[in-house]
Amino acid sequence: MTLEQFRWKGEFPKIGIRPTIDGRRKGVRESLEAQTMGMATAVAELLSSTLRYPNGKPVQCVIADSTIGGVAESAACAEKFAREGVGVSITVTPCWCYGSETMDMDPSIPKAVWGFNGTERPGAVYLAAVLAAHAQKGLPAFGIYGEDVQDAADTSIPEDVKAKLIAFAKAGLAVAYMKGKSYLSMGSVSMGIAGSIVNDNFLQEYLGMRTEYIDMSEFVRRMDEGIYDPEEFEKALAWVKDNCKEGVDNNPEEIQQPRELKDQNWETVVKMTMIARDLMVGNPRLDELGFGEEAQGHNAVVSGFQGQRQWTDHFPNGDFMEAMLNSSFDWNGIRAPYLVATENDFLNGVVMLFGNLLTNTAQIFADVRTYWSKESVKRVTGYDLEGYAKEGMLHLINSGSATLDGTGVQSKDGQPVMKPFWEISEEEAQKCLDATSWRPASVEYFRGGGYSSNFLTRGGMPMTMARLNLVKGIGPVLQIAEGYSVDLPDDVHQTLNDRTDPTWPTTWFAPILTGEGAFTSVYEVMNNWGANHGAISYGHIGADLITLASMLRIPVNMHNVAKERIFRPKAWSLFGTENLEGVDYRACENFGPLYK
């Protein structure tokens, strides 16, 4: 078994399609069988052809063995779904059905109902009735109802219905996939950063995840005792020497590390990368080497590495390890990224996981470091900001841990993108490597040395920055800012970048302003950001994040997503139809964590 095959433990959650029908026989039910089952088949084909699992394979759908006209058939469907590993439920119908008898009653499975908009049979009436039942029973469901009336014989899925089905399914699969997985805390709290105080209650109650812990001394044990694949290490070290060019050392000459120590550090950071991966997902090769326990891993879909300061005061920093694992390729070729949060900021790591599951792309971890107003840029450089950045921009930069996909040198239709791993070519992976240099770490920060990735993100990419915060008395709160990466003239970038640590990767980011709330100015976005870190995903995925957050009962305190793009459970409207931020808070508080 290969490492990639071993990595994906168990079955991926499937989407269950529930075709419900009017149970009255002797003419009514019989006339609706073909149309109802046809809706189910069409939804299954749409989702299987559109969505993919994190390993790149098409999403699987399971359809009930029969249409569901009453409670017995509903129970049979539930039994089949449990047997088949269904994690997301979609009920479809063109007609009136018996709501509380045919509804999905599983409280932990995200659920949606598509009621056909036709005049021949009252599918919309059932939709309204069953959504009322869901709200009354405390099982919030998403309602899907096409804007335009369709003819009874029309077997197509309207575009607005398709969009909602896909949005619901993407978020629902993310919820289902996280359940039962682990967050691996490698070390503890880094430099007093609140996000690295790992809260296992949040992970358990809101995401259905467990928390696994190791001390960073486990890295030392595995290096000292040779608990890694020695053949892979030699292969990896040779690959690194060929593909990871070492950049200029910015340290004062008198404190620069000697060449011998730098070479030793390269060996150490490569071993750290292999060990962190093996800790997360295991490695069958370790079993062959006599390390059966270590071969199992911690079933972690995301992890965090404390690093500072107990590790980095003595050993090379974790920048190389984090950057390579977060990327979509390494010495073993192109593969799905492993998600590792810098400084063990599990709250940022969780948002990286959200973004990855919604897009299947690598995620950028960054400090939300500096707000640059157009006046400040003009004063320092003489340059007038323009384009996306004409009202100012944010400097996103962290200590060299960002994914190399974040260089933006992958392309589609001539535009810079970050792709799912199965779309990335060998040439594009090499371009990411060529666009990155590895700068010797600042030994004033990192006494043990190491290497930080250094690159500049290409401008023009649609991006979404998000952050999860924990608030005493409220719980988790999500914030979202859609925007674009920005290109600057080389000399302007250099002048601004040199004012901080120029050995780290930079993304210039301009959030989209709406003129309302926290998005009246770029300054207000920065001023309302809840922590020092942000997770950045390719694409404008704010609406998908809002849908996912509602499933998990996590309110969103700031976002710049247009109202018409927002898709939440129907019950949310029963908490009010104005001041939607307040509505979201009340609904999430009322229904509570998904797994509590």
Catalytic site includes residue 584: no
Task: Assess contact for 282 and 306: CB atoms under 8 A.
Answer: no
To which residue do tokens 């930079």 refer?
A: 506
CA 529 to chain CA mean position, Å: 19
Q: Is 367 annotated as a binding residue?
A: yes
| Phi, psi angles (nearest 5°) of residue 473 | 90, -20
To which residue do tokens 């989209």 refer?
A: 512
Taking the CA atoms of residue 348, residue 350, residue 355 and residue 360 in that order, the dihedral angle to the nearest 10 degrees is 120
Query: What gap in Å lies between CA 108 and CA 596, rounded to an integer?
Result: 10
Q: Is 444 annotated as a binding residue?
A: no
Query: Out of 212, 343, 405, 501, which one is annotated catalytic?
Result: 343
To which residue do tokens 């199992």 refer?
A: 296
Amino acid at 289: L
The CA-atom distances, in angstroms, between 427 and each of 204, 333, 420 are: 41, 12, 15
Query: What gap in Å lies between CA 63 and CA 306, rounded to an integer?
Result: 45
Catalytic site includes residue 343: yes
Gyration radius of the chain's alpha carbons? 25
Cα angle for residues 580, 584, 589 (degrees, 5° grid)? 150
Query: What gap in Å lies between CA 243 and CA 399, rounded to an integer?
Result: 20
Query: Out of 367, 482, 501, 544, which one is annotated catalytic?
Result: 367
- DSSP string for residues in 7-71: HS-SPPPEEEEEEB----TTTHHHHHHHHHHHHHHHHHHHHHHH-B-TTSPBPPEEE-SS-B-SH
Q: Is 343 annotated as a binding residue?
A: yes
Task: Assess contact for 121 and 572: CB atoms under 8 A.
Answer: no
User: Which residues carry out catalysis?
Assistant: 343, 367
Question: Could you tell me which residues are annotated as the binding site for Mn(2+)?
Answer: 343, 367, 533
Question: Could you tell me which residues are annotated as the binding site?
Answer: 343, 367, 533
